[in-house]
Each structure stands twice: as C-alpha cells, then as structure tokens.
Amino acid sequence: MSHSGSDEKGLNIRDLPWIREKELHTLTEGRGLIVLPDYDVVLKQAKEVFEKARAVGGQTWKETKGFLKEDAVRDYLHALVVAYHELLRSATNTTVYCNYKDQNGNLCGSIMDIAVDATGVYYQCRLDRFSHVRPVP
C-alpha cells in the first residue's frame, strides 16, 4: 500500500480532490473495499490524457479512419491506452479505503491497512480497528 507522495491524498477518501460526496456510491456499491490506483499515478496519467485532449481541441468525435489517424487524435488515444496500463500496473501499489456504512448509510472512507494475526490476513480500518475489518480478497 502506498502512502507516499502528495500531501493532498489525506487519510480519508473524501480528501481526494476528485471525489464528490454525492458520487461516492459509484465506488462503493456491492464492494467490500474501495481499491483505488496510486494517487500519484492517477495525477500523472490524468495530466497526460488532459494535455492530449487539449491538443485535439474542440473537434467533434468521429469514428472514421481518417479522424482516428489524425496525429492529435492518435496521440490522445495512445495516452488513454498508456494511462490504462499505468493505472492497472499501479494496482500493486494501491490505497484501500473502508467501505463500512453505519445504520444511516454514512460511509466511513478511512484508509485501511493490512493486518496479520492468528486468524489470518485482513484489512483493518484506521478509524475503527475492531469493527471495520474486511478479508483480503
């Protein structure tokens, strides 16, 4: 688990600059854990894709060979594929957030650490180390 890098990362999923409270459900539905790629990798890849998208400009998207072979569009598509691979590769260096919800449906969102004891290996929430526990998949 990576905790190095930018200070903006924080200790709660709500501290991430791209997380909106009203959209948290898209990350949490049906999942015991919220596993995100490494923060610094996300920022690096977002910058690359953003810059390539700007180069394409205000063009309308077309799925034609001519459009897809334009240099700026090729660069943009290449940046997307590289971003996918870099984010996938960063899965070995992820941050795991607690998906525990209280009786009112409020999400904990705190960072989870890997813990090991006689019962096995599991994720343990930094906020509540006894109640917010999930098995390592």
Segment 104-111 mean pLDDT: 89
pLDDT at 79: 92
pTM higher than 0.75 for the full model?
A: no
Q: Is 84 left (phi over 0), alpha (psi -120 to 50) or beta?
A: alpha
Q: Is the pLDDT of residue 113 over 60?
A: yes
Cα–Cα distance for residue pair 78/136, rounded to 1 Å: 34
Query: Tell me, what's the pLDDT at 2?
Result: 41
Task: Give the position of tokens 């180069």.
Answer: 55
Q: What is the mean pLDDT of residues 64-88?
A: 90
Tell me the per-residue pLDDT of 5-53, one tens digit each, with 9 for 90 and over: 444 456 788 888 888 887 777 877 766 678 888 888 888 999 999 999 9
Instruction: Let me know: does 106 contact 91? Beta carbons within 8 Å.
Output: no
CA dist 78 and 113 (Å) reads 35
Tell me the pLDDT band of 92, cut-offs 50, 70 and 90.
low
To the nearest 10°, report the CA torsion of 92, 98, 100, 102.
-170
Question: What pLDDT band is residue 4 in, cutting at 50, 70 and 90?
Answer: very low
Contact by Cβ (8 Å): 39, 76: no
User: Could you identify the residue written with the tokens 């590289």?
Assistant: 82
Query: What is the mean predicted confidence (pLDDT) over 64-85?
Result: 91
